[in-house]
Structure 1
Amino acid sequence: MSADPSVILHTDRPAAALAVLKETHPDLTVHACDSYAALPALIGRAAAEVVFSVRFDGTPRYPRQALVDSPTVKWVSVGGSGTDHLGRWDPERLTVTNSAGVAAGMLAEFALGAMLSFSLDLRGFARRQQVRQWGGGRVEPIEGKTVLIIGLGKTGEAVAKRARAMGMGTLGIRAHPKPTPCLDEVQGVDALLPLIGRADFIICCVPLLPTTRGLLGEAAFAAMKASAVLIDISRGGVVEEAALLAALNARRIKGAVLDVFTTEPLPADHPLWSYDNVAITPHCAAVYDGWDITSVRMFADNLKRYRSGMPLQNVVNPERGY
C-alpha cells in the first residue's frame, strides 16, 4: 500500500473514467486499458499496484490470471458487485473490493417491473394487440402477494423496500439470518423449500458461489406454487436451467423473467427463447445510464482511503464471494 500507487483503469469507457480520476486524484499517473488482451502487458509495463476493472466483454475471455497472479497488483477494485469472474485469489496477497450497491436500486426496479408485468399480464395484452384482438386477459393486484427474496445484500434489501411499499408480504433467505428492514421473515438457506412454497414471486439475487451454484434446482421448482414466477437477477448457474425447463414444460410454474444465464450470450438455439411465459433480457438489468461513472466515483473515494492507509470499503471475502 503506497500513497502514490501505479493505477490502471480497465474499462470500455476509459475517457470518462480518467476524467473522474483527474478530478479526484490529479497528482496520480493513471493508465487506461480498454481491452482484455492488452491488460497483462500493461500491468507489467506500469508495475501496476491498483487496478479498477470492469467485466465488459464477458467472463470466458476475462484476463483474471493477469490480475490474481501479478507480483505487483495489490488491490483489484471490481466495477460491479459480482466477483465470480476472478475465481479464487489469495487474500493475504491481494485485496479485492466490489461496487456493491451501485446498481441496487436499478435491479430492484427491474424486479418490481418484472412482477408487475406478470400481475398485469402485459405480455398477454401485447400478443393480443399484435393480432388486433379486443378482450381477453385480466389484471390482478400485486398488493397482498408474497415475494421471496433469495439473497439479502444491498440489492435484496432494495427489492424488499419496494415490495413493502407495494403492500406485498416479504420473505427473505440469507446465509446468516438476522432481522432485516422491510422483511416480514428472514431465514437461512435450510428453510428455502418451505419458504419457496409460500411465495407468489421468487427473486434470486445471490452471488455465484460453490454454495449457491444450482441452488434453485429440481427440488426448489417442485416446491413452488403453480402460480409462482421466478425472477433471476443473480448470476448464471444459480438456477439449474435443466430444472427450469422441466418446470416450464410441465407447467409447474407460471413463468420466469431471466437476466442471467449459464452461457452468455444465450445461444440462438437455446429452448428458453421459445416460451411465451419467459421474458429474456441480456444481462442488462443493472446497466443504466451513468452506472459506470458512479462506480468509478466509488473507486475514487476508496482510493483516497487506500492512499492514506485507511481500511478499504466493500472488501470481498473470497470464501463468501461478497
Structure 2
Amino acid sequence: MHNVVLLAAPDSALAQALAVRNLPDIHLQVYAPAAVPEEVLAEAEVIVGAPDHIVPLVRGAQRLRWVQSTWAGVTPLLQNGEPPYQLTALKAVFGDVMSEYVLGWLLALERRVLVHSRSKRWLTGRESSVRGKRMGIMGTGSIGTVVAQRANAFGIECVGLNRDGRTVSGFERCYATSDRLSFATGLDYLVGLMPHTPDTDALVDAVLLAQLAPTAIFINAGRANAVSHGDLVSALEDGRLRAAVLDVLPDEPLSSSDPLWSVENLHITSHTAAPTADAMIVDVFADNYQRYVSGQPLAHLVDFARGY
C-alpha cells in the first residue's frame, strides 16, 4: 500500500472526489494542512496539496517520494534547492478557462461592453474588432498554446515569447526572452502567462511597453513578478497603453487602500482567471498515481533548475 496524504478538509468535495476513484493500493488519509499527525507525516510516501501548505511539512515527511501540487505554480517549494522527492505541478488543465478569461476581456474592451452597459444614454460610434489584431503571448506552455489556438479562431495572429525562441504550434513565430523587444514591437495585445523565475523578473517594463502599438491592451494572468507595476501605471496614465487587466499582484489579496484600485483603465480581477475544478485535480493526480505505481515517468515534473 502507498501512504498518500491529501491536504484538504476531510469533508471537502476534493476529498470525496478522490476517495471515490478507488485507486489501486492506496492508503488515502485526508487532513487539514495544520492537523496532520506527526506519525502520519513520517510515513507519508505521497503528499497532495497546495505548495504553501506543503512547505512546513516536508521536513517531517521522512519517506516522502512524490509531491503533487494542486496549483500550476510551485514557487514556495522551490526555495531550498532540489529535494529528494519528485514534484509535479497541476498542468494541461487551465488552457480552456484561461482562454475564456483572455478573450472575454479583449472582446469586452474592444466592443466597449462595459462602457455600453454602464452608460445612461445612447452611445454612437463604430465598435472595433479583435479580428486582424496581433497578440503576443509571454509563455508558450500548455496554457499559452491553448490561448493562441483559441485566439487564432477569432482571426487574431499570435506570436510567442519563451526561454529559447523554440517553435510552438499555434504561434506564427516565437522569440527568446533575450529578444523581448522585437517580440513586443507593434503588438495590439500583450498577454503575460509566464512562470515565476528569476529570468522572468520585470520582463514587462517601460522599455517593452514603449514597443507596443499606441492603443495596446495588456493582460497579466501569469505571475506578478514579470511586471514592473510602476512602469505599467505610468504607461496607462500617459495614454501610451489603452487598458490593462491584472489578475495577479505582488501582494494578495490587494489591500483596499492600494492606489492601483483607482488607476484609470486598469482592471483588477482578484486572481480569478483560471479557477481550479476539483475534477481537474483528481484527474491529474489519478493519472500520475497510475504512472507512479507502475514505475512509469510522472507527467508534469518540475525542473528545479528552471523553476517550472
- Normalised to the residue count of structure 1, the TM-score between the two structures is 0.88
- Residues 81-105 of structure 1: CA distance to partner in whole angstroms, max 9, x if unpaired? 1111223355461210012111111
Letter aligned with residue 215 of structure 1:
L
Are the aligned partners of 2:166 and 2:176 in contact in 1 as well (CA < 8 Å)?
no
1:88 to 64, 69, 79: 79
Are the aligned partners of 1:9 and 1:18 in contact in 2 as well (CA < 8 Å)?
no
Indicate yes or no: 2:60 matched with 1:51: no
Per mean C-alpha deviation after superposition, the further-off stretch among 261-270 and 305-314 is: 305-314
Per mean C-alpha deviation after superposition, the further-off stretch among 80-89 and 239-248 is: 80-89
Fraction of identical pairs, as percent:
29
Q: Distance in 2 between matches of 1:108 and 1:89?
A: 33
Q: Distance in 2 between matches of 1:267 and 1:303?
A: 40
Q: Which residue of 2 aligns with 1:148?
A: 136
- Residues 39-84 of structure 1: CA distance to partner in whole angstroms, max 9, x if unpaired? 4x457545211011135xxx5xx45132267422221101121111
Q: Which residue of 2 aligns with 1:202?
A: 190
Indicate yes or no: 2:5 matched with 1:8: yes
Letter aligned with residue 117 of structure 1:
A
Q: Distance in 2 between matches of 1:28 and 1:203?
A: 41
Q: Distance in 2 between matches of 1:45 and 1:148?
A: 45
Residues 100, 43 of structure 1: alpha-carbon distance in 2 compared, 3 angstrom cutoff: farther
1:108 to 87, 91, 99: 99
Q: Distance in 1 between matches of 2:75 and 2:59?
A: 13
Q: Which runs of 5+ in 1 are unaligned?
A: none
Q: Distance in 2 between matches of 1:220 and 1:161?
A: 24
Are the aligned partners of 1:121 and 1:138 in contact in 2 as well (CA < 8 Å)?
no
Query: RMSD between aligned alpha carbons?
Result: 2.1
Are the aligned partners of 1:173 and 1:189 in contact in 2 as well (CA < 8 Å)?
yes
Q: Distance in 1 between matches of 2:60 and 2:306?
A: 20
Are the aligned partners of 2:43 and 2:61 in contact in 1 as well (CA < 8 Å)?
no
Are the aligned partners of 2:233 and 2:263 in contact in 1 as well (CA < 8 Å)?
no
Residues 141, 14 of structure 1: alpha-carbon distance in 2 compared, 3 angstrom cutoff: same
Indicate yes or no: 2:306 matched with 1:308: no
Letter aligned with residue 155 of structure 2:
G
Q: Which runs of 5+ in 2 are unaligned?
A: none
Q: Which residue of 2 aligns with 1:165?
A: 153
Q: Distance in 2 between matches of 1:205 and 1:199?
A: 16
Secondary structure (helix, strand or coil) at the match of 2:84 reads coil
Q: Distance in 2 between matches of 1:236 and 1:187?
A: 21
1:97 to 68, 88, 102: 88
1:210, distance to aligned residue in structure 2 (A): 0.9
Per mean C-alpha deviation after superposition, the further-off stretch among 134-143 and 262-271 is: 134-143
1:137, distance to aligned residue in structure 2 (A): 5.4
Are the aligned partners of 2:8 and 2:14 in contact in 1 as well (CA < 8 Å)?
no
Residues 216, 107 of structure 1: alpha-carbon distance in 2 compared, 3 angstrom cutoff: same
Letter aligned with residue 280 of structure 1:
I
Indicate yes or no: 2:235 matched with 1:247: yes
2:199 to 182, 207, 211: 211
- Normalised to the residue count of structure 2, the TM-score between the two structures is 0.92
1:32, distance to aligned residue in structure 2 (A): 0.9
Are the aligned partners of 2:136 and 2:190 in contact in 1 as well (CA < 8 Å)?
yes
1:160, distance to aligned residue in structure 2 (A): 0.7
Q: Distance in 2 between matches of 1:166 and 1:223?
A: 24
Q: Distance in 2 between matches of 1:86 and 1:112?
A: 32
Indicate yes or no: 2:63 matched with 1:72: yes
Are the aligned partners of 1:67 and 1:76 in contact in 2 as well (CA < 8 Å)?
no
Q: Which residue of 1 aligns with 2:212?
A: 224
- Higher relative contact order, structure no. (Cα contacts within 8 Å, ≥ 6 residues apart): 1
Residues 112, 69 of structure 1: alpha-carbon distance in 2 compared, 3 angstrom cutoff: farther
Indicate yes or no: 2:105 matched with 1:117: no
Are the aligned partners of 1:119 and 1:142 in contact in 2 as well (CA < 8 Å)?
yes
1:216, distance to aligned residue in structure 2 (A): 1.1
